Structure 1
Amino acid sequence: METPISIEEILTLGPIPESLHNTFLRVANGLAQRADYPKQKVMGLLAQMLQNPKKFAFSKNKVTNLAQAIYALNKQGIAVPLSESGATYLPTEPAPYVLNASTNQKEQAFDLRTEALSYAVFGREQIEEGALKQMETAASLPISVAGALMPDAHQGYGLPIGGVLATSPDTVIPFAVGVDIACRMCLSVFDLPPTFLKREPHILKKSLVEQTKFGIGGETREKFDESVMDLPEWRATKVIRDLKDKAYRQLGSSGTGNHFVEWGIIEVYEQDDQFNLPPGEYLALLSHSGSRGFGGSVANYYSKLAMQRTRLPKQAAHLAWLDLNTEEGQEYWIAMNLAGEYASANHHEIHNKLAKALREKPLAMIENHHNFAWKEQMPDGRAVIVHRKGATPAGPDVLGIIPGSMTQPGFVVRGRGNADSLNSASHGAGRLMSRTQAYNTLTRSEWNKAIQEAGIQLIGGDLDEAPMVYKNIETVIGAQRDLVSVLAKFTPKIVRMADANRKEGRED
């Protein structure tokens, strides 16, 4: 552990008034001890604040109150400038992000292939006709190289949810990535027995209520680690820059629909080199969330742009692509990858806050995302862009999490690297009925009965996420034994979701 930050070190930043010495020390050492910031990072943050106190005074951050005190002194004519020695703590200014391409994609019309490429379907008997037709259309694109359909597949926009599509290496399809870019699963396992959940359910329930935030426009005040906001990509394009403040406010929050944070019991069947836990049962935390308003706005903007640039027959209109050799294509690629980093940071915020509330550190944490595009290679060496929309990466020995529903278990899996599936697996159980069907056919008494019979404590949620709207997860897992091996089973017990809100639709 590093030694506490001293007042002598603080004074290297500049002529700090004596009246603020104790405040500086309290903030600095608080960041070092409670937020686990390295000393260099603490000093760098304080240096940035002294360099621009107005910016830090009028935004929510870890040194807001300190910045307001310095800004008030500046307005009184009492300057507290950053010293030359203090300036050495400032982070290195990244070079402006330079896009390799300088031209925009020109509008062009394309026809579909007369005959679709063949593609593998896993669990065909469980997949609705609409999803099969959508996959057939995707496999007819002139840029398509290969495809696969996972057993949880159901109809969406453009590419079906559960669809995997490999395209030529200079193309990316925003709607084949999805609206919630980089939607993600994250699992933390704690060194606590299942009896803790039975003994202290009120503590776990309280932690979910106090430490999570759900819903449209949901924002968080306190951040555990906001370093993701320091990435240079936030300055890359106007679209990203305009969304940064919103992204900061929503960091550590979850959306609506099937997003959740839940406590449960994980039973580890097999010890893995990466998931290095002895067989047995443990308390665990599982979350499902994505890139929030940032990812949704990026998806909407570039999906519309792609449809303007790439004209396709009506049935394939949502499968329009952007050329990665153009500025627009690279802008989307940068934003998509940034959304991946941001989605991961969202989960880490949630898990870190809940672990802190429990006064525990996890024994293990694993995560994976879907709704993304990756640069990969086919078995014959061809470079491709692989879009996994509601599908989990399952390359050789790659770990992943496949959830069920609020009453069904989820599974920790290890990929088998099946070439027919394009190294992919399902991302969940998959829906049996749409949200509208759920509202029109299910009753709250049926929903409540299913929850009670499963012994679930539910906070929030609505009929569109009732257990009955999902396929049987055991059947779905059984249909992909050639794609993944199961290492552990997670059984949910206390589930937190967004409160009932029928105004927002989601593509899940």
Structure 2
Amino acid sequence: MSKSKIKGKDLKKINYKSDRAKSLAINIINSDFKHLSKQDKLALLEDVLINPKDYIKHVSLVKLAEELIGKIKTNHGTIYHLDNIEKPFAIYGNKHITHDTVRQMATAIQLPISEYGALMPDAHVGYGLPIGGVLAARNAVLPYGVGLDIGCRMSLSIYDVPSEFIKRNSYQIKTALKEQTHFGIGKIEKHNLDHEILERNEFNEIEILRQLKGKAQNQLGSSGSGNHFVEFGTVELGPENAFDLKEGKYVGILAHSGSRGLGASIADYYTKVAKRVCLLPNGAQHLAWLDLDSEAGQEYWLAMNLAGDYAKACHDTIHYRLSKTLGLKPVLHIENHHNFAWKEQIDGQELIVHRKGATPAAKGQFGIIPANMIDPGYIVSGKGDGASLNSASHGAGRRLSRKKAKDSYTGSELKKLLNQNKITLIGGGTEEAPMAYKNLEEVMGAQKDVINIEGKFYPQIVRMDKQ
């Protein structure tokens, strides 16, 4: 009897790799197939490994077959198991990242469609993929791997005027920010503009987008609440910057916002669709994905790209209004998404790279990594680091949740800190207090292999939503 017993080393020889599959195989074969010789047991298990679908209705071997297939189709959707094969992922700035965040990323990398992953040094826990998480998947897109604010992005306009312009024209700048920017929920009838983005075919071809076109039109050129902002500040470029601009200080307008109600509604709708068709274990449901060969997957991909372009249209409108109002003409514009998914080539195969709160950093690609409303942010270019999946942090990253920050600091403390740093804040609140964020200098130090520093942005007049 003992001589015919199957052990882990026997299964390794016939190419069983998953620890869970090995465990199931040993338990089933040694309990339900005692009458077989060791040779026959191994032959049977090898056949299950090669042809698991043939055993999906087998009384004893069904669980092993399901594990090897990795999914089970039902009338309501497809049940998927997480892989038990070890899939390591790169972590930048481990000491700045909580264990819960690492665990969340570890769950994402175990999805059967996951190929590679990485955590940026500003990472913290989010829904589905962590904020600051990067995931490369095979022919599948995760709505919560992109995030609720599809196409959330940074955009910086640089003007070749002396930095003293801001101090001399502070009243006009504050007036322009109050009159030409709009934050939070609601219509902006005063600023409602026609824009080519509203003529896109997707608004007519996809039902959910047809329903959202009015909202998109009403919110065009506006910014969200939370940590979204529009601010004037000083841009500092060094002698060897990559922009062919002379060394020195310039005036800059920096904005951070996304696709508003359009993107949030798209994310909510397709996340529900994904959860219906992709059934995952407890703790992983927010990681439900859509196959890009499916109708829903193709729809989401089109809607996601439209939302990203809409976010850009909002930024372009904001920069245009402020430039026109103040009589400024930019000499350079830098922008990047940090909540999006891209089709990219990695190790010879096309993968869907999700960057949820992560800045694209392919070789020579420009981006902006802000700090908080008092410390300087960075203008960067990517080094094309493979381990990071060509990615960098999207900011300093939260140290405290918005609720925790609100409970920890008072308005007078925030006001005193801003005054000490000569920062003017219009709107805003303690939820976004600088103390709620990690130290950007430490975050930047953890990603030296990922990016080059091209310049800095020092905020001076900051506009945020009223809180």
Distance 1:236 1:272, change over 3 A: farther
- The Cα of 1:297 is off from its aligned counterpart by 0.2
Distance 1:196 1:124, change over 3 A: same
Aligned amino acid, residue 258 of structure 1: N
Higher strand proportion: 2
* SS of equivalent residue, structure 2 residue 161: coil
Distance 1:474 1:364, change over 3 A: same
Which of 275, 278, 282 in structure 1 is aligned with 2:250? 282
* SS of equivalent residue, structure 1 residue 451: helix
What is the aligned partner in structure 2 of residue 329 from structure 1? 297
The C-alpha deviation readout for 1:178-227, integer Å capped at 9, x for no partner, is 00000010000112111111111111111101100001225353356611
Give distance in 1, aligned partners of 2:86 and 2:315: 39
Which of 338, 359, 369 in structure 2 is aligned with 1:392? 359
- Structure 2 unaligned spans of 5+: 1-74
Alignment of 1:9-408 (within 5 A): 107-168=77-138, 170-223=139-192, 226-273=195-242, 275-378=243-346, 380-408=347-375
TM-score (norm: length of structure 1)? 0.76
Distance 1:220 1:289, change over 3 A: farther
What is the aligned partner in structure 1 of residue 393 from structure 2? 426
The 8 Å contact of residues 264 and 284 in structure 1, kept in 2 or not, is answered as yes
Give distance in 2, aligned partners of 1:368 and 1:254: 16
- The Cα of 1:116 is off from its aligned counterpart by 4.0
The 8 Å contact of residues 213 and 220 in structure 1, kept in 2 or not, is answered as no
Give distance in 2, aligned partners of 1:225 and 1:489: 34
The 8 Å contact of residues 262 and 493 in structure 1, kept in 2 or not, is answered as yes
Distance 1:218 1:256, change over 3 A: farther
Give distance in 1, aligned partners of 2:377 and 2:193: 27
Give distance in 2, aligned partners of 1:289 and 1:360: 22
What is the aligned partner in structure 2 of residue 30 from structure 1? none
- The Cα of 1:409 is off from its aligned counterpart by 1.1
Give distance in 2, aligned partners of 1:143 and 1:496: 41
- The Cα of 1:271 is off from its aligned counterpart by 4.9
What is the aligned partner in structure 1 of residue 54 from structure 2? none
Which of 424, 440, 443 in structure 2 is aligned with 1:473? 440
The 8 Å contact of residues 188 and 365 in structure 1, kept in 2 or not, is answered as yes
Distance 1:384 1:330, change over 3 A: same
TM-score (norm: length of structure 2)? 0.82
What is the aligned partner in structure 1 of residue 460 from structure 2? 493
Distance 1:341 1:354, change over 3 A: same
- The Cα of 1:106 is off from its aligned counterpart by 6.7
For the pair shown, the structure with the greater C-alpha radius of gyration is: 2
Give distance in 2, aligned partners of 1:400 and 1:376: 18
The 8 Å contact of residues 189 and 283 in structure 1, kept in 2 or not, is answered as yes
Give distance in 2, aligned partners of 1:335 and 1:366: 24
Structure 1 runs of 4+ aligned residues shifted over 3 Å read: 270-273
Give distance in 2, aligned partners of 1:390 and 1:325: 26
The 8 Å contact of residues 192 and 218 in structure 2, kept in 1 or not, is answered as no
Instruction: Give the total of aligned pairs.
Output: 393
Give the % identical residues. 52
The C-alpha deviation readout for 1:374-401, integer Å capped at 9, x for no partner, is 00111x2011100000000000100000
The 8 Å contact of residues 116 and 139 in structure 1, kept in 2 or not, is answered as no
Distance 1:388 1:204, change over 3 A: same
The 8 Å contact of residues 193 and 220 in structure 2, kept in 1 or not, is answered as no
Aligned amino acid, residue 254 of structure 1: S
Give distance in 2, aligned partners of 1:219 and 1:305: 31
What is the aligned partner in structure 2 of residue 80 from structure 1? none
Of 228-237 and 328-337, the range deviating more from structure 2: 228-237
Give distance in 1, aligned partners of 2:86 and 2:319: 44
Distance 1:195 1:317, change over 3 A: same
Give distance in 2, aligned partners of 1:471 and 1:301: 33
Give distance in 2, aligned partners of 1:251 and 1:271: 37
The 8 Å contact of residues 154 and 336 in structure 2, kept in 1 or not, is answered as yes
Aligned amino acid, residue 456 of structure 2: K
What is the aligned partner in structure 2 of residue 461 from structure 1? 428
- The Cα of 1:115 is off from its aligned counterpart by 3.7
The 8 Å contact of residues 218 and 255 in structure 1, kept in 2 or not, is answered as no
What is the aligned partner in structure 1 of residue 4 from structure 2? none
Give distance in 2, aligned partners of 1:278 and 1:271: 9
The 8 Å contact of residues 371 and 390 in structure 1, kept in 2 or not, is answered as yes
The 8 Å contact of residues 220 and 251 in structure 1, kept in 2 or not, is answered as no
Give distance in 1, aligned partners of 2:249 and 2:444: 21
Give distance in 1, aligned partners of 2:409 and 2:260: 28
- The Cα of 1:270 is off from its aligned counterpart by 4.5
Give distance in 1, aligned partners of 2:356 and 2:180: 29
The 8 Å contact of residues 150 and 258 in structure 2, kept in 1 or not, is answered as yes
The 8 Å contact of residues 270 and 488 in structure 1, kept in 2 or not, is answered as no
Give distance in 2, aligned partners of 1:444 and 1:394: 37
* SS of equivalent residue, structure 2 residue 190: coil
Give distance in 1, aligned partners of 2:229 and 2:204: 31
